[in-house]
């Protein structure tokens, strides 16, 4: 059974780091008065001089099949940031204090002009190294688990389900947060309880399912199915368990157009479908062993349109009205 390594470093957080820890422990470079704490496949994380706040800067990088592609998708970082900011507002309004979150602002003078529109100012948290996944439909590693064991993360499901099926109830299917380059691994709930304590585990599960349920309800009212989503939580300086990271974006969630949902077939995904289709087509000539090839212009343009469409359909807002930085 995979176990949870609580000392595994997450971006920006050295092993054993606690709030108020020594900044000298952070690897990285200084950008003006911002300290670069680290970069993931898509985002760059900076610490503000007050050491209480972070900037999460979403780039236009896109990853598929665990590789970062050499061609960026214009405006993708702005879409991810705009959508997270919108969802944090919805969560605050609908869930109130029951699920506190880290988002402060996407429009703050502490955000460098170049990054306007794709940076979020957040309260710094001490992250819980668990990928908190909720699933309402069977797909991805959940489907693989089910086919192998009849259960997902130890949650038994009825026999005979096919890929894309809706589950009777949304389920909490946590995963380890893999170190860079690694694969997240599904873990049973008791392993989370062992690692973080029964009380924190129960609160992670309840908060994850609450966010999933609300996200699924809002998305469905706009013709989009939320198949699953991944959340990250941390403790703020007062010790309150707080929702961090990005939330309910196409990078952290599977969104399916409701009118094209066909259980048993591959579901068209809302975001990377064109990229994935092209990468596996003979046109790309990609063997998956070497670095991924540059994307053709039409694949880039159609993918950008899908991200923008996801934002506009979910929020009902015009993407053109979202702030744009000097470098966009």
- Per CB under 6 A, contacts with ligand ATP among 81-110 are 102
Q: State how far the alpha carbon of 309 is from the alpha carbons of 182, 184, 296, 320, in Å.
A: 31, 29, 20, 12
Nearest of 205, 185, 188, 202 to residue 154 by alpha carbon: 188
8 A C-beta contact, residue 10 and residue 22: no
Dihedral sign for Cα atoms in the order 123, 127, 128, 133: positive
Q: How far is the CB of 263 from ligand ATP (least distance, A)?
A: 29
Beta-bridge partner residues of 226: 255
Out of ligand ATP, Mg ion, none, which partner does residue 138 contact, by CB within 5 to 8 A per kind?
A: none
**Using CA atoms, how far apart are residues 325 and 16, in angstroms rounded to an integer?**
36
At closest approach, how far in Å is the CB of 137 from ligand ATP? 22
Which of positions 44-83 make contact with ligand ATP (CB under 6 A)?
45, 54, 56
Residue 2 · residue 177 · CB < 8 Å: no
Q: Pick the closer one to ligand ATP by CB: 12 or 100.
A: 12
Rounded least distance, CB 200 to ligand ATP, Å:
16
Report the alpha-carbon distance of residue 210 to residue 212 in Å, rounded.
5
User: Which residue from 14, 21, 40, 188 is in contact with ligand ATP, where contact means CB under 6 A?
Assistant: 40
The residue among 10 and 303 lying less far from ligand ATP, judged by its C-beta, is: 10
Q: Which of 34, 106, 127, 128 binds ligand ATP (CB under 6 A)?
A: 127
Q: Tell me the closest approach of the beta carbon of residue 241 to ligand ATP, in angstroms.
A: 12
Nearer to ligand ATP, 10 or 315 (CB): 10
- Smallest distance, Mg ion to C-beta of residue 40, A: 5
d(CA 161, CA 151): 11
β-strand partners of 232: 244
How many residues belong to the chain?
A: 328
Pick the piece of the chain touching Mg ion (CB under 5 A) from 36-44, 72-80, 125-133, 176-184: 36-44
Could you list the residues that contact ligand ATP (CB under 6 A)? 10-12, 40-43, 45, 54, 56, 102, 122-125, 127, 232, 234, 244-245
């Amino acid at each position: 059974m995979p176990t949870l390594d609580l000392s595994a470093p997450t971006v920006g957080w050295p092993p054993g780091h606690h709030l108020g820890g020594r900044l000298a422990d952070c690897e990285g470079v200084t950008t003006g008065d911002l300290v670069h704490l680290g970069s993931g496949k898509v985002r760059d994380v900076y610490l503000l001089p007050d050491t209480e706040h972070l900037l999460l800067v979403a780039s236009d990088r896109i990853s598929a099949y665990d590789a970062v592609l050499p061609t960026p998708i214009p405006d993708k970082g702005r879409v991810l940031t705009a959508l997270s900011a919108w969802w944090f507002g919805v969560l605050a309004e609908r869930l109130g204090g029951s699920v506190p979150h880290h988002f402060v602002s996407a429009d703050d003078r502490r955000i460098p002009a170049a990054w306007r529109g794709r940076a979020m100012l957040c309260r710094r948290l001490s992250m819980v190294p668990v990928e908190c996944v909720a699933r309402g439909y069977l797909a991805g590693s959940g489907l693989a688990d089910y086919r192998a064991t009849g259960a997902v993360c130890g949650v038994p499901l009825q026999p005979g389900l096919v890929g894309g099926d809706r589950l009777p109830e949304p389920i909490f299917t946590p995963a380890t947060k893999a170190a860079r380059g690694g694969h997240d691994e599904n873990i049973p709930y008791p392993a989370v309880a062992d690692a973080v304590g029964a009380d924190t585990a129960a609160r992670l599960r309840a908060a994850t399912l609450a966010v999933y349920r609300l996200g699924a309800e809002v998305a469905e009212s706009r013709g989009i199915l939320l198949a699953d989503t991944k959340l990250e939580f941390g403790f703020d300086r007062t010790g309150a368990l707080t929702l961090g990271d990005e939330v309910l974006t196409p990078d952290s969630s599977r969104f399916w157009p409701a009118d094209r949902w066909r259980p048993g077939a591959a579901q068209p995904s809302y975001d990377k479908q064109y990229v994935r289709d092209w990468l596996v087509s003979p046109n790309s000539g990609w063997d998956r062993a070497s670095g991924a090839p540059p994307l053709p212009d039409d694949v880039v343009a159609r993918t950008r349109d899908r991200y923008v469409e996801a934002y506009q359909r979910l929020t009902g807002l015009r993407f053109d009205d979202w702030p744009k930085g000097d470098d966009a």
